[in-house]
A and B are shown apart, each in its own frame.
Chain A
Amino acid sequence: MTRPFIMWSLLLLFATPLLAEDYLIQAGDQITVFLPGEASLTDPITVDRQGRLLLPEAGPIPVAGLSEAQLKQEVVDQLGQMFRDLDNLRVYLFKKQMLIRVQGYVQNPGEFTLPADATVQMALHAAGGIRNGAQLNQLSRVRDQVSLLFDYKKYLDSGDLNHLPALQSLDRLFVPASPMTGNVEIEFDPATIADSGDAAANRLAIKVFGEVNSPGSFSFRTSMSLVDLLMRAGGVTRYASVEQIRVISAGKPTLFNLTHYLDSGDEKLLPPILAGATVFVPQQEEQIKSGANTVYVMGEVAHPGAFEGQGNATFMDILANAGGPTRYAESRQIRLIKANGEVVKFDLAAYTEGTLESQPPTISPGDAIFVPEKSDMNEKSWLMVAPDRAVRVIGEVVRPGRIEWSNEMSLLDLLAHVGGPTSRADTSSIEVVTPITENRSKTTLFDLDAFIKSGASDLQLPEIRAGSTVRIHDLPRDPANNKSQWVRQASEKSIYVFGQVGAPGRYMFTNAMHFLDILAAADGPTGSADIHNIRVTHRDGDQAQVSKLNLALYFETGDEQLLPNVRTGDTVYVPEKNRIWLDQPKEKMVRVLGAINRPGRYRFDDSMTLLDLLAEAGGPTTNAYAQKITVINLSCCRDQARSFDLLSFSRNADFTALPVLRAGDTVYVPDRRESNIAKIRVGLRDVFELFSLATMMGQL
């Protein structure tokens, strides 16, 4: 039982080469020629490239293309010439091998002896493997000067040996370098090359370039999306403008917003990718973040920059994300620059104080928040405050200049901020020029003195907004010398004093002052002033109006009601006491005529009597006919004349006998010759003289 098993085993062992009967010896095979007792024929002999078997004694025997049996026969034929006993000669194929040359872009190109069933992969392995940068799909096998291209990549993709050509000895494998490696031999690094990809066919390949990690041409597959492509290209770089990816597919350019797609997940946003499409991911200039959802925060915040915001992010959210305003920030003047160029101002300080009624502006993507730097008072950088943010204060204030304005402030705040008016400031007429439109301004004259005195509310302050100008005039330097600066003193701030005062002229005046102020300022009436008839011309009304003032009555009674209300622009005239008689109307005067010591026109009022007038006029002369002092009354309706007997009055003190006398009347003191007695006496004398004359004529 054991013997037949061994026999079968041996039979099988030797039958294996016999089964491959059609195997032909080729170069590289190892042949064992064994002849007992012959030491030189112990090692296997390799068939050389020429297909020859080099036997030590017999020389080269061409064996390529022979079968194993033919090989044995050939060997026997050759050795039989030298050896007699060849019974024990055994010739067999020791190892089926082939010689393959591997050339091109491999680690160790050269000729390698490989097992007869070796594949292309083994050949490449023997050559140390393919170098980086080899073109895997363009390998070629050269046999008998005939080149056969094959796609090694396909084999690697699939593992299908059918993609590899069969090898036989003396074949040559050529591994080309990829054209992408360039003409200068460098260490190939796929991450560094600008152009890569896996595209086998350039025409159909999809080109992905720009700000992707691995730009290149990628082989087209149906149902591939743009996101797949970007992933294959290693994803976008951090500089990529993912909102503006350009895709040219089927000759039509489209713009793809990756962020929008990722936010929405809407598949319809993905552009169709056809064979031969081109995808370009542009770079954001200078690493500037921009995009549909970006909000920019600039200026004096802790972390200025571009912020990706959701649509519902508020102004406060964004400002807080930027770290908030710094301590140098002018939080009153925050500007929101809308994407369309509109500028919205926002006063954060006022908002936090609760004085601002409006809410923070709404932020939409693309807006920019600018927090300007606080302008430093010490620095005096006047350029920091834009003209539409500043008010100008000029004139007599402690620190005139340009002040940054906020609408919650008032004129009083502004005046306080600039240190207040100086001691020489004319606070009664502060000029405020406020722009209404671009080309028009409104000028307001503000009387601070009256405002404070009356305790008016702030609503009555003139409106000031950014761009306004406030001017505060100065008072005349020397009141006594105000004529030298009369041009600087406006007419509407002056009052005019003429006539019999110590210093007539033009005086600075405010409506808060009254008549005695200006009279005292003009050094008061002089000795020759007629203080009973002071005239004040009021020039502020539409009609001419003159007030008459009896200052003597004022001094007598102290009645303030008598003093006229003088305003700027009015005129005060203090007439002379001894003025020319034309200036004194007849209705105001009493005329005293006749036998009186000082006849003339006298002023008279109803507190006086005829006796006062006669005394004032020096009394009747010695020739006066005091019994018939005549008073002619000027009446509205019926004039009359009355007489007065001064002598009789002096005797009986009958005051009722005094005739009524008023201003406008006339007093006549007749001469003694005009009395009836005197007239009769004269008449009798004339008669007697006539009689005497007649008597004398009769006697003749």
Chain B
Amino acid sequence: MFFKRINTAHRLWLCAAMGLLLSGCVQWPLAGRGGMAEHRLEQTGPTLPSQPLGPEHGQFFELELARRHLDILILEGAELYFPATVVQATLLQTRIARQMAGGLHEDAGLDLQIQRRLLNALERQIDAINRSSQQPLQELPS
């Protein structure tokens, strides 16, 4: 009787609504990001003055510091003396960047600490070598 009181168009809409209800409304996760964040790391836009600063900005700033630090160490000869450590640091830097871009801020924070310690140790080693050799390496061969 209920069906007879509504017209055909309304029946069709009803069927669609019921079909949707019956399909269970599948909820897919959000789209991921940062799987290759190192690829576009330099293109990250500047933080605008009007933009409110969040923790992620501080983390980004830390990552930037670590990157510069690593670059300086490489310039000082880290790649010649401790190539594997540089590889590991670069890999870790990639991981941090990916995690930050991918929303894993806590993991990125932990890895940032690891990275800082790694770079500090590397810096101490470089300094020791440069002190003992008396001739700091000024520039890397291209």
Contact = CB atoms under 8 A, between A and B. Distances in A.
A556 interface: yes
B107 A683 contact: no
B80 to A, nearest CB: 10
Contacts of B136: none
A631 B83 CA distance: 32
A606 B87 CA distance: 11
A329 to B, nearest CB: 56
B103 A607 contact: no
Interface residues of B, number: 44
Contacts of B15: 684, 687-688, 691
A680 B110 contact: no
A658 interface: yes
Interface stretch (B20-28, B47-55, B59-67, B68-76): B20-28
A657 B32 contact: yes
B19 A656 contact: no
Interface stretch (A405-413, A594-602, A636-644): A636-644
Interface in A568-622: 605-607, 609-610
Interface stretch (A83-91, A292-300, A558-566): A558-566
Interface stretch (A332-340, A466-474, A659-667): A659-667
Contacts of A659: 31-35, 102
B128 interface: no
B16 to A, nearest CB: 7
B137 interface: no
- Which of the listed residues A607, A635, A674, A675 has the most CB atoms from chain B within 10 Å of its own CB? A635
Contacts of A607: 91, 94
Nearest to A679: B23
A676 interface: yes
Interface centre among B26, B91, B95, B110 (most CB of A within 10 A): B26
Contacts of A638: 104, 106
A558 to B, nearest CB: 6
A660 B22 contact: no
B6 interface: no
B interface secondary structure, majority:
helix
A659 B36 CA distance: 8
Interface residues of A, number: 51
A656 B40 contact: yes
Nearest to A627: B28
A679 B32 contact: no
A661 B95 CA distance: 9
Nearest to A554: B84
Contacts of B84: 550, 553-554, 556-557, 559, 561-562
B28 A628 contact: yes
A686 interface: yes
Given A636-B107, A643-B28, A660-B104, A687 B22 contact: yes
Interface string B76-119: 00000011111110011011001101111011001000000000
Nearest to A685: B19
A682 interface: yes
B30 interface: yes
A525 B26 CA distance: 50
Contacts of B29: 630, 640-643
7 contacts: A559-B84, A610-B35, A631-B32, A641-B29, A642-B30, A659-B102, A694-B3
- Nearest first, the 10 closest Cβ-Cβ pairs linking A and B are A659-B32, A658-B35, A642-B32, A660-B102, A559-B84, A683-B23, A557-B83, A684-B19, A683-B19, A637-B106
Given A656-B36, A686-B19, A688-B15, 10 more contacts: A558-B83, A607-B94, A643-B28, A644-B31, A659-B102, A662-B99, A679-B23, A683-B21, A683-B24, A691-B11
Interface of A: 550, 553-554, 556-559, 561-562, 605-607, 609-610, 628, 630-631, 633, 635-638, 640-645, 655-662, 674-676, 679-680, 682-688, 691, 694, 698
